[in-house]
Structure 1
């Protein structure tokens, strides 16, 4: 894909490494470097590119030429990603977004700024995503649903039609939200949890791992102990 823009990635974690791959191989952006707050700076380069202190990022990358993406996950209930996204904007940098070419986004869906949409996401007609939203791989965002600012949706979650996901909420792997349901702000929906009624702000819904049976896999499948 022809490169027509430049981006600096804020962060050097696993998400930053994945973001580098996505921007490099599936976007019009050329990654020119990384930036990390000085207290967490542990390396000088990553993928042969400079890792510079965030406090002096202007000395290395000019806002007139370079956009940014803050590649942070859901740390502090999405507060860390929000803080760095808003701080970089105050420095005058424009936020970049990534939308996988393997995602299906209906033409009238509305996507905010500084979003990261991985492969195999389906975003149906009239859906809306706010700013600073992450959709990891393979989610379904139903028609007329709204994902508010600063949310993080893990892989293979289902948000049905006419739903609203409140700001800064997290939706775990394989979670499901029924039709016409509103998830309030600052909710944590754990892996595999199904929500069918509206929630209150700052609620946490945990996915419970089942207890193992008393019969071992070796006994169940009649295997000899090694």
Structure 2
């Protein structure tokens, strides 16, 4: 991925800690300018956030038209990142192009293939020939091995090791310190818990917890939320 030096004006979705973090990173580590925030009307409690305008998402395009502004949606892993996907698709339907943020303190190589609305924090080590799809979050300190393909709407917390030539399907989630063996396929919406060690392909919607990599009887989409026991 070549560094984007063109300045873009960005509207950030949300008024959460994650939205505040996104504002900080764009302000101090990008050429872009955050001009406003947006949130669903039902949840908007004021007209400002971080000393910038806060507008309803339902009408954001009237204030900040997609022909002139970009959007960034730093939304958590709720419902295995399906909420983030829904807002991603809603912003695209409004006509917005979505920016991605890759920390200057991450280790990357020329040719990194990355989609829209990705949030890649500091100290990620992303080796050559990695491909990352749309709407993924990689928190700080992960290792992504060469020739790995991370598809869409994936959430990787911190200090996760994904070895070379793995395939990570949509909506997968990785807890802190999880380790994935090389050439492994992580199926759609697999929840890999904190400290789990994965040495073989998973099945869709599996929940795999702990150093013994115990497969839970529930499916990931059955969870109302992901607790600290699985995400660190």
TM-score by length of 2: 0.86
| Structure-2 separation of matches of 1:42 and 1:194 | 43
**Alignment equivalent of 2:140, drawn from 112, 137, 141:** 137
**Alignment equivalent of 2:155, drawn from 152, 157, 160:** 152
2:63 is the counterpart of 1:60 = yes
Alpha-carbon offset, residue 113 of structure 1: 1.6
State the number of aligned residues.
Answer: 208
Alpha-carbon offset, residue 207 of structure 1: 3.1
In 2, are the aligned partners of 1:132 and 1:149 still within 8 Å (CA)? yes
Larger radius of gyration: 1
2:80 is the counterpart of 1:77 = yes
Q: Where do 1:1-226 residues align within 5 Å?
A: 4-207=7-210
Aligned-residue RMSD, C-alpha: 1.5
| Structure-1 separation of matches of 2:74 and 2:15 | 8
Q: What secondary structure is seen at the aligned counterpart in 2 of 1:105? A: coil
Unaligned runs of 5+ residues in structure 2 are: 212-232
Alpha-carbon offset, residue 32 of structure 1: 0.5
| Structure-2 separation of matches of 1:114 and 1:79 | 14
Alpha-carbon offset, residue 155 of structure 1: 0.8
Unaligned runs of 5+ residues in structure 1 are: 209-226
| Structure-2 separation of matches of 1:205 and 1:13 | 29
| Structure-2 separation of matches of 1:105 and 1:118 | 12
| Structure-2 separation of matches of 1:48 and 1:176 | 40
Residue deviations 1:66-102 (CA, integer Å, cap 9, x gap) = 1001110101110111111111011011101101011
| Structure-2 separation of matches of 1:108 and 1:89 | 25
